[in-house]
Amino acid sequence: MRLVCESVGHRYGSLDVLDGIGLTVADGECVAVVGPSGCGKSTLLGIMGGLVEPAAGRVYFEGTAPAGSLNPITYVFQDFALLPWRSVAANVSLALEHHPLDAREREARVADALARTGLGEFRDAFPKQLSGGMRQRVGIARALAVSPAILLMDEPLSALDAQTRELLMEDFLALWLAARTTSVYVTHNLHEALRLADRICVLSRRPGRIKQIVAVGIPQAERAASAAAREMSILADRLWAAVREEAIDAEREIAHG
Amino acid sequence: MPNARSHMDDRRPVPFRGGGFSPMPVRYAAAIGFAVLLAIWELAVRRGLVSPIFLPAPSTIVAALGDLWRAGTLWQHVSQSLVRLAGGWCLGTAAGLAAGLLMGVWSLGRAVGVPFVSALFPIPKISLLPLLILWLGIGEASKIATIALGVFFPTAIAAYTAIDAVPRNLIRMAQSFGLPAGDVLRKIVLPGALPGILAGFRISTSIALILLVSAEMIGAQYGIGAFVLQAGNLMLTDQLLAGVLLISLLGLMLGAGLGRLERHLLRWR
Amino acid sequence: MIRLSRRAAVAGALAALSAPSVLRAQTLRKTSVGVLRLSSSGPVFIAAERGYWREAGLDVELKFFTAAQQVPVAVTSGDTEFGVTGLTASFFNLAGKGALKIVASQSREAKGFPLVAYMVTNAAYEKGFRSVRDFAGKRVGITTTGSTFHYELGLLAKKYGFDLSAVTLVPLQTLPNMQAAFKGGQVDAILAPVTLARALTADGSGRILAWAGDETPWQLGALFTSPRAIAEKRDVVERFVRGYLRGTSDFNAAFNQRDAAGNEVRGTNFAETIGVVARAVQQAPELVAVGLPFVDALGRLDVGDIYNQIAFWQQAGLVGKDVTGKEIVDLSFVRGHLNVPKN
Ligand SMILES: Nc1ncnc2c1ncn2[C@@H]1O[C@H](COP(=O)(O)OP(=O)(O)O)[C@@H](O)[C@H]1O
Ligand SMILES: [Mg+2]
């Protein structure tokens, strides 16, 4: 499925947050959205998934969801958003319970999602017993369980320490390469964007506008290879140059409200 | 090696500066402290240091309880009070939870309810007794209503604040997975508010016990509150304290029961 | 008599001028009395206002309480040396522990003095509850178990031979609660103090069957002190009683006079005396005049009734069996007590 934003803008009261965002995410494509903190990335993602009503513009999704997709547009959250009173399996099953599935199919989906994220042996654990990395794996498993057509991820690795982030990125890349779900990946970490995205959309500081869209020509699987190192580093420099001045300005801004 | 030698001379252990300020549970300390206090009390009365009119000895209080037991009225008092407590508490809790829920999730409910509840909460329920008698008579209804009224307000406030404190991101998550509103309420809001609601139960059970005496001011022949009241009116201080002891025992038992319930329902914490 | 009242006037004038009274206060023995702001404590207010205690060499401080129960407790705890209030089971429980001794009378329920009414609701009246003989099987609101109301019903039961245990006594703790229960028809009858009784008849919510004073006269209240005070400073107690009895005498002379037909007549110094009482109870004189009790001019106690009260409470299981009248009444401060039991 494709996701289309048409001149999306947003404001919170008198605070202009987004302005004139036009962006199309193609079927099977992963677009990263980067930009300085507070520029409206989360807001944009919220608008894309129907959790925030845009002040201007529209968002469409096009095409038909694959058979078995229960929740076409599905989120993975930065703070995991797990229910502390539900076990791992029950947290995953929460996304399924209101769908007319028979118990066997539901159980199969939960088991499959847990297996794919390496959580099989943790199914009865409670979130507080898990490390941050494991908790985000639950968040990902929950998203996988509903077979999404479009995956919206809001800084899914930002709450984790560097090593965990690296490990999870590897696992996540493998999962993504296997399924190639249309994805929007919001991050302020350029390295993550370069590992995962087909295109990287750089937002200006608030109000966020599209400053630049950088296409990464190398397939994800080959980016870590030394052959690609030079091209990747040039891309990284270009990206950083685009983000840097926005970040400097954003940092010098006086906190709003 | 003269150099190393002098280093050795200068060497001192780093003094320990941490520790303290973190009370550890000491086993049996509470029980022993309590026993010592009781012993001092008993001795002071027996030695005539304290007049038994002002402070009856613990043994006298226990004897007064024993008299009640032998007379067969102890259970009558306790059971009547338990019925009133259970009835009033359940009624007040049900209504309080409903009101708290309305105030927690519904804008109009909050706009109307919060000032209403804040204004009525501090009214001493005992001052409403004549009205309650007029409305409900002097049977069980007015007694139960007194307790229910006292329980209602703290429960409503606890439920409302607890629902307000449920992380919004969990609700957004549920919506992003397409959970219907009823499911969001049942699976996210209520379980998320449960710790706060259970904490409110501790307060509301205490208030119910406090109001027991007020409730049984309304023409009660039996009941711990009526017993305490009568003992006070008759200046039978040993019976008075025996009744007070019963109430605090009841409070301890209810508290322990709630503790178990909390541990059971909130094991995820 | 003329000389006496002149002396009283002088003493009053002295009391009014603060400078000389400071001088005099040094020679006065300080003591205190616990009272309620009720007209039955009139003798205390009169004695204080007219300087009877000053003349007896005492500087008496009046300490006001809001419930009858508190006064004996205050004497027991030593907060006041004397107390004046109605007699209840609670009083006898404290007295029985050796904390209190009765030395003189306060008010008495007496014929022709409407203080407490037996009131029935209109509904109960319609159903045939028309006489004080009909209490058996009815629900009757009282303040508390062990109160003066409780005893009055006991006396009535004895007089008309009905069984008190066949009456359902409903303790409602406060007069407003009793009023509410009465108006709501949750009780068939209540015992109502005169002001409440008048209010309830005025608004048509019930009828007065009879007055307790007419049916069953008894020793409603007393002056008491601690046994220790009697043992250690008998002289102070004697002087206090002397001043108090001048108060009872004035009270009786002003308020308790009746003509041959039993109708109220205004006695000596009525207007001035009612002013004294009205100021102390903080009510309008007209209101005070409605509920004036009988007070024996000589402060004599109906001793037999006090013994009877103790027996009644003991039978009801509300007062310990070891309490005896002999131990809690001291007959030596007032001469000519009434109805003194032989043994
Ligand atoms: N619900 C809200 N109400 C008011 N202001 C908000 C709200 N959510 C976010 N903002 C503000 O909007 C701006 C953009 O927020 P956000 O989309 O979260 O940025 P980002 O995710 O890029 O850091 C920030 O300045 C933030 O403070
Ligand atoms: Mg964000």
Identity of the residue in B53, B219, B229 whose CB atom sits nearest the CB atom of C170: B219
CA A68, chain centre distance (Å)? 21
- What is the span of the domain harbouring residue C133? 116-215
Are C161 and C231 contained in the same domain? no
Q: Delimit the domains of chain A by residue range.
A: 2-66+150-256, 82-148
The C-alpha angle with vertex B197 and arms to B193 and B201, in degrees rounded to 5, equals 170
Distance CA A170, CA A176 (A): 10
What residue in C sits closest to B128 (Cα-Cα)? C177
Instruction: Please give the DSSP secondary-structure letter assigned to residue A208.
Output: B
State the distance from the centre of ligand 2 to the C-alpha of A213, rounded, in angstroms.
19
List pLDDT tens digits, range A61-81.
998 888 889 999 999 999 999
Q: Give me the helices (H) in chain B, please.
A: 2-10, 29-46, 58-71, 74-105, 107-120, 129-136, 140-164, 168-176, 181-183, 190-215, 224-233, 237-265
**Residues B83-121: tens digit of each pLDDT:** 999 999 999 999 999 999 999 988 899 999 999 999 999
Q: What is the pLDDT of residues B228-255, one digit of tens each?
A: 998 988 888 899 999 999 999 999 999 9
Residue B67 CA to residue B73 CA, distance in Å, equals 9
Residue where a domain stops, chosen among C215, C240, C273? C215
Chosen domain end from C157, C187, C215: C215
Pairing of β C139-142 and β C168-171: parallel
Using the Cβ of A104 and the Cβ atoms of chain B, whether some distance falls under 8 Å is answered with no
Residues of B in contact with C69 (CB under 8 A): 233, 235
Q: Give a yes or no: residue B157 inside a domain.
A: yes
Residue B229 lies in a domain: yes
How many structural domains are present in chain B? Answer: 1
∠ at Cα B59 (B57, B60), nearest 5°?
Answer: 65
Nearest CA in chain B to A85: B268
> Is-above-0.90 flag for pTM?
no
B15 CA to middle of ligand 1, Å? Answer: 50
Per-position pLDDT tens, chain B of length 269: 555 566 677 888 898 888 888 877 777 888 899 999 999 999 999 998 888 778 899 999 999 999 889 988 899 999 999 999 999 999 999 999 999 999 998 889 999 999 999 999 998 888 888 888 889 988 899 999 999 999 999 999 999 999 999 999 999 999 999 999 999 999 999 999 999 999 999 999 999 999 998 899 888 889 999 999 989 888 888 999 999 999 999 999 999 999 999 999 988 87
Structural domain contains residue C317 = yes
Domain-located, residue C124: yes
Residue B48, domain member (yes or no): no
* B70 located within any domain: no
Same domain, C128 and C65: no
3-state class (DSSP) for residue B213: helix
- The angle formed by the CA atoms of residues A134, A136 and A140, to the nearest 5 degrees, is 115
Tell me what pLDDT residue C2 has.
Answer: 43
Contacting partners of chain A (3+ CB pairs under 8 A) = B
In a domain? residue B136: yes
Cα-to-centroid distance, C168 and ligand 2 (Å): 73
Q: What SS3 class is residue A182? A: strand
Strand, coil or helix: A147: coil
Q: What is the CATH number of the domain that holds B116?
A: 1.10.3720.10
| Residue C225 and residue C95 share a domain | yes
Q: Report the pocket of ligand 1 as residue ranges, CB < 6 Å.
A: A 12, 15, 17, 35, 37-43, 206, 256
> pLDDT for C282-333, tens place per residue?
999 998 998 899 999 999 999 999 999 999 999 999 998 989 999 999 999 9
Q: Identify all chain C residues contacting B133, using CB atoms and an 8 Å cutoff.
A: 172, 177, 180-181, 184, 186
Domains identified in chain C, total number: 2
> Which token pair is B138?
């002097």
Q: Residue B81 sits in which domain range?
A: 75-265
Residue C10 falls inside a structural domain: no
Per residue in C259-268, pLDDT (tens digit) is 888 888 999 9
Let me know if residue C225 belongs to a domain. yes
Cβ contacts of residue C134 below 8 Å, gap of 6+? C128
- Phi, psi (rounded to 5 degrees) for C141: -85, 130
Is B124 exposed, middle or buried, given 0-12, 13-18 or 19+ CB atoms closer than 10 A?
exposed
**How does strand A2-12 pair with strand A56-62?**
antiparallel
pLDDT score recorded for residue B21: 84
pLDDT (average), residues C218-225: 97
Q: Which residues of chain A have pLDDT under 70?
A: 254-257
pLDDT digits (tens, 9 = 90+) for C127-178: 999 999 999 999 999 999 999 999 999 999 999 999 999 999 999 988 999 9
Which positions 210-249 of A are in contact with B (Cβ < 8 Å)? Answer: none
In a domain, B65, yes or no: no
Chain C: closest CA distance from residue B99 (Å):
30
CB contact under 8 A, B178 and A71: yes
B135 within 8 A of C183, measured Cβ to Cβ: no
The tokens 């005099």 sit on which residue? C24
Comparing CA positions, the residue from B69, B93, B123 lying closest to residue B246 is B69
Residues of chain A with C-beta less than 8 angstroms from the C-beta of B266: 85
**In chain A, % of residues over pLDDT 70:** 98
List residues bridging with C223 in a β-sheet.
Answer: C84, C104
Round the CA-based radius of gyration of chain A to a whole number and report it: 18
- Establish if C233 belongs to a structural domain: yes
Buried-state track A58-90, b at ≥16 Cβ within 10 A, e below 16: ebebeeebeeebbbbbbbbbbbbbbbbbbbbbb
When the pLDDT of each residue in chain C is averaged and rounded to a whole number, the result is 91
Architecture of domain A2-66+150-256: 3-Layer(aba) Sandwich (3.40)
Same domain, C95 and C241: yes
Decide if B229 contacts B216 (C-beta within 8 A): yes
Q: How far apart (Å, rounded) are the C-alpha atoms in residues C266 and C259? A: 10
The pLDDT of residue B128: 87
The domain spanning residue C199 has which CATH number? 3.40.190.10
Question: What is the Å distance from ligand 1's center to A40 Cα?
Answer: 6
Give a yes or no: residue C187 inside a domain: yes
**Cα separation, C259 vs B264, whole angstroms:** 81
Residue C7 maps to a domain: no
Q: Is residue C337 part of a domain?
A: no
Query: Does residue C31 have a pLDDT over 70?
Result: yes
Report ipTM (2 d.p.): 0.91
